[in-house]
Structure 1
């Protein structure tokens, strides 16, 4: 590896180290730390280091065994985590167990919200509006017929290990005449800052609008935005009325029906709104291009959701660093 390449990697990790308030980030995860109890067994690997390992793993798209190898090989990785010697490098099963524990205790919400709170404390979230969208994430597993899925579901009820290598949480959907099998990652993006304030992860057959029917119960909106935008899939008359009542600009694209085509005025309006709404594609592009997040390889929705959540966290951290530098508020 060239000296220049090594320097770029080290600089990125140094920026992340300085940007994140790690003590605040670790706080909600401490519920899984049993080291202070009388229960026997090997002491748990420090939580701060485990969280930093997750940052490395998903920032560079590493499998658990590959992460272990890279920690043994790269000094910059060990320095970021705080590992002094090769003896302290955890084996890949330790990483796997930690991720399973996060999933079991449903702690990813707390980690994500902690990062959002840190962004808010730096006044990076603008609250001008929220853009919602979803991206299909195809599963690396093969699609299942309804009959086969029913058989496997019944089998899983009796013995989960018998179908451990099959993804029964992924489902099929169709978009523009093409069929997909997998999941959907949903985000609510802050207009202007392009920071993710809300996210959700569902099977691919869940319609986008199912997450935002009724503005007061929206899962992808925060309630403090002055406007919100979305494509035609999010069009809902009740939401439009709710927004007008609350003084919130309703920027969801108009949708044609079988009985009525869009007027020229509606087409012009859609074009103007699309220029604002297109910003929501940037986080998905970052995940696919920079984080190599192009398919769901785990066998359950919960495990695949963890990766999506961490990608949202990484996007926010890297975007936050960029914004601070662009605003001249990054102290060298």
Structure 2
């Protein structure tokens, strides 16, 4: 019997990807400011002589672990028992502290949803990035991505999520919702909206704009007369990629050059979706309804921004 499994007592070994990721994110997440945002809504004492609430920063760290690694509430509780690296990140010592059970983790998530704290977390992260001078003001890129939802009817209600819809992309049908985002020209998410999958991208454009953007870039899904009219009315430079309409025979080379130039700049707007779906593994909704899934994705996009700018934040800290 040895203490080799405990962090700090084992012999020197290789740092794993998970350890490196958690070390990097621990440095860039503004823990104190986020705790201050949540604290007014968090219970300070147990009700009716009950047990004392878990430390708020613990619960916030556990909530972020769920977003990064896709743990369910029961799965998160078991992972904290099984994986020393996760306990170390949260700050839990098994010999001294109690691990929050799945009901406590669930109640904390509902606390964030019911008080609109996901939006406030996103806003606080944006404030940190603006104060650090890491948000570009030269223009915006708008885009949307499909998030799949379960189409199974093997549930208590015997039907699919009523707030999700189907849409056709190419020759394939998708069931779920859409995340509409506006990013700056380096791909950092500045505004987020959520709709059912059947809502066209261009109908959400005005909700994503602040009105003072010098230029807006978008793909051909936004090439509609009403979009061009809105941009012209606000005095915003129109850099929306154009479609080739049936029967069009003139100006094709100029159209290709324009779309290619827009695509080269707009490619950075896809980076947030790459981190969301590939790095954090979020490809399918976990809950029912737009509100719950929207709150989760709002938190995820705040963490995406911190991940994309982690190296710049390190340099500023140094």
Contact 1:143–1:181 (CA under 8 A) maintained in structure 2:
no
| Alignment partner of 1:108 is 2:101 | no
Q: SS of the counterpart of 1:311?
A: helix
Q: Structure 1 residues 262, 77: closer, same or farther in 2, change over 3 A? A: farther
**1:308 is matched with which residue: 279, 297, 309?**
297
In structure 2, how many angstroms separate the alpha carbons of the residues matched to 1:164 and 1:261? 52
In structure 2, how many angstroms separate the alpha carbons of the residues matched to 1:296 and 1:57? 14
In structure 2, how many angstroms separate the alpha carbons of the residues matched to 1:43 and 1:203? 40
Contact 2:46–2:53 (CA under 8 A) maintained in structure 1:
no
Q: Which residue of 1 aligns with 2:136?
A: 126
What are the equivalent positions in structure 2 for 1:8-87 lying under 5 Å apart?
Answer: 8-35=17-44, 41-85=50-94, 87=97
Contact 1:68–1:92 (CA under 8 A) maintained in structure 2:
yes
In structure 2, how many angstroms separate the alpha carbons of the residues matched to 1:262 and 1:290? 43
Q: Which residue of 2 aligns with 1:219?
A: 207
Deviations 1:66-97 (A, max 9, x none): 21122122333222222233642101121112
Contact 2:59–2:105 (CA under 8 A) maintained in structure 1:
yes
**Alignment gaps of 5+ in structure 2:** 6-11
Q: Which residue of 1 aligns with 2:222?
A: 234
User: Once the 2 structures are TM-superposed, how far is the Cα of residue 188 of structure 1 from its aligned partner?
Assistant: 0.9
What are the equivalent positions in structure 2 for 1:197-212 lying under 5 Å apart?
Answer: 197-212=190-205
Q: Which residue of 1 aligns with 2:240?
A: 252
User: Once the 2 structures are TM-superposed, how far is the Cα of residue 122 of structure 1 from its aligned partner?
Assistant: 1.1
Paired residues, number: 306
**RMSD over aligned Cα, in angstroms?**
2.8
Contact 2:146–2:177 (CA under 8 A) maintained in structure 1:
yes
* TM-score for both structures, normalised by structure 1: 0.82
Q: SS of the counterpart of 1:83?
A: coil
What are the equivalent positions in structure 2 for 1:84-95 lying under 5 Å apart?
Answer: 84-85=93-94, 87-95=97-105
In structure 2, how many angstroms separate the alpha carbons of the residues matched to 1:163 and 1:56? 31
Q: Structure 1 residues 165, 314: closer, same or farther in 2, change over 3 A? A: farther
User: Once the 2 structures are TM-superposed, how far is the Cα of residue 9 of structure 1 from its aligned partner?
Assistant: 2.9
In structure 1, how many angstroms separate the alpha carbons of the residues matched to 2:201 and 2:130? 27
Q: Which residue of 1 aligns with 2:189?
A: 196
**1:187 is matched with which residue: 181, 192, 197?**
181
Q: Structure 1 residues 39, 256: closer, same or farther in 2, change over 3 A? A: farther
In structure 1, how many angstroms separate the alpha carbons of the residues matched to 2:269 and 2:153? 29
User: Once the 2 structures are TM-superposed, how far is the Cα of residue 52 of structure 1 from its aligned partner?
Assistant: 1.1
Q: Which residue of 2 aligns with 1:173?
A: 167
In structure 2, how many angstroms separate the alpha carbons of the residues matched to 1:230 and 1:250? 9
User: Once the 2 structures are TM-superposed, how far is the Cα of residue 177 of structure 1 from its aligned partner?
Assistant: 2.4
- Of 234-243 and 275-284, deviating more is 234-243
In structure 2, how many angstroms separate the alpha carbons of the residues matched to 1:135 and 1:288? 10
In structure 1, how many angstroms separate the alpha carbons of the residues matched to 2:48 and 2:195? 37
User: Once the 2 structures are TM-superposed, how far is the Cα of residue 3 of structure 1 from its aligned partner?
Assistant: 3.3
* TM-score for both structures, normalised by structure 2: 0.85
Q: SS of the counterpart of 1:3?
A: coil
User: Once the 2 structures are TM-superposed, how far is the Cα of residue 39 of structure 1 from its aligned partner?
Assistant: 6.2
- Of 34-43 and 115-124, deviating more is 34-43
**Alignment gaps of 5+ in structure 1:** 145-160, 213-217
